[in-house]
Amino acid sequence: MTTTGPPPSLIATLPGRHYTDPEIFALEQERIFETMWFCVARAAELDKPGSFRTHQVGRESVLITRSRDGSVKAFLNICRHRGAKLCTAESGEVRRAFQCPYHAWTYGLDGKLVAAPNLTSMPDIDRTAYGLAEVHVREWLGYVWVCLADIPPSFESDVMGAVVDRLGDVESIDRYDIDHLQVGRRITYEVRANWKLVIENFMECYHCATIHPELTEVLPEFADGYAAQYYVGHGAEFGAEVQGFTVDGSAGLDRIPGVADEQDRRYYAITVRPQVFINLVPDHVIFHRMYPMAYDRTVVECDWLYLPHVVAGGKDVERSVELFHRVNQQDFDACERTQPGMSSRTYAKGGVLVPSEHHIGEFHTWVQEKIAGRSSETALDLT
Ligand code: FES
Ligand code: FE
Q: Whose C-alpha lies nearest to ligand 1, atom 2?
A: 103
Atom of ligand 1 nearest to the CA of 84: 3
pLDDT above 90 covers what percent of the chain? 79
**Length of the chain counted residue by residue:** 383
Residues whose Cβ atom is located within 5 A of ion ligand 2: 331
Q: Does ligand 1 lie within 6 Å of residue 68's CB atom?
A: no
CA 187-320-299 angle, to 5 degrees, is 20
Task: Find the ligand nearest to 214 CA.
Answer: 2
- The pLDDT score that the predictor gives to residue 301 is 97
Predicted confidence (pLDDT) per residue in 179-190, tens digit: 999 999 999 999
As a whole number of angstroms, the distance between CA 262 and CA 12 comes to 38
C-alpha distances (whole Å) from 70 to each of 2, 46, 73, 230, 233 are 62, 10, 9, 38, 36
CB 159 within 8 A of CB 274: no
**Res. 48: pLDDT tops 60:** yes
Read off the pLDDT of each residue in 231-236 and give the average, rounded to a whole number: 71
As a whole number of angstroms, the distance between CA 205 and CA 226 comes to 5
Task: Find the ligand nearest to 106 CA.
Answer: 1
Q: Does ligand 1 lie within 6 Å of residue 273's CB atom?
A: no
Half-sphere exposure of 347 (CA within 13 A, CB side): 16
Half-sphere exposure of 200 (CA within 13 A, CB side): 27
Task: Find the ligand nearest to 205 CA.
Answer: 2
As a whole number of angstroms, the distance between CA 286 and CA 270 comes to 11
Atom of ligand 1 nearest to the CA of 79: 1
Q: Which residues of 340-363 are buried (b: 16+ CB within 10 A; e: fewer)?
A: eebeeeebeebbebeeebeebeeb
Best residue among 82, 99, 127 to mutate for probing ligand 1, ranked by most atoms within 8 Å of CB: 82
Atom of ligand 1 nearest to the CA of 103: 4
Predicted confidence (pLDDT) per residue in 123-146, tens digit: 677 777 899 999 999 999 999 999
Q: Does ligand 1 lie within 6 Å of residue 84's CB atom?
A: yes
Atom of ligand 1 nearest to the CA of 86: 1
State the distance from the centre of ligand 1 to the C-alpha of 97, rounded, in angstroms: 14
Q: Whose C-alpha lies nearest to ligand 1, atom 3?
A: 82
Q: Does ligand 1 lie within 6 Å of residue 276's CB atom?
A: no
Q: Give the confidence band of 94 by pLDDT, cuts at 50, 70, 90.
A: very high
**Res. 263: pLDDT tops 70:** yes
State the distance from the centre of ligand 2 to the C-alpha of 40, rounded, in angstroms: 23
**End-to-end distance of the chain based on CA atoms, in angstroms?**
20
Q: Average pLDDT, whole number, for the chain?
A: 92
Angle between helices 195-203 and 358-372 (to 10 degrees): 150
- The pLDDT score that the predictor gives to residue 379 is 42
Between 256 and 170, name the one with better pLDDT.
Answer: 256
**Res. 286: pLDDT tops 50:** yes
- The pLDDT score that the predictor gives to residue 86 is 98
Q: Give the confidence band of 258 by pLDDT, cuts at 50, 70, 90.
A: very high
CB 293 within 8 A of CB 301: no
As a whole number of angstroms, the distance between CA 284 and CA 267 comes to 10
Task: Find the ligand nearest to 204 CA.
Answer: 2
Task: Please name every residue paired with 187 in a beta bridge, in sequence order, or none if there are none.
Answer: 302
Best residue among 63, 79, 80 to mutate for probing ligand 1, ranked by most atoms within 8 Å of CB: 79
Q: Does ligand 1 lie within 6 Å of residue 101's CB atom?
A: no
Q: Does ligand 1 lie within 6 Å of residue 102's CB atom?
A: yes
- The pLDDT score that the predictor gives to residue 166 is 85
Q: What is the longest distance spanned by two Cα atoms in the chain? A: 76
Neighbours of 151 (CB within 10 A): 7
Q: Does ligand 1 lie within 6 Å of residue 82's CB atom?
A: yes
**Res. 377: pLDDT tops 70:** no
Task: Find the ligand nearest to 209 CA.
Answer: 2
**Res. 375: pLDDT tops 50:** no
**Res. 32: pLDDT tops 60:** yes
Q: Give the confidence band of 9 by pLDDT, cuts at 50, 70, 90.
A: confident
Half-sphere exposure of 86 (CA within 13 A, CB side): 34
Read off the pLDDT of each residue in 297-316 and give the average, rounded to a whole number: 96
Between 38 and 356, name the one with better pLDDT.
Answer: 38
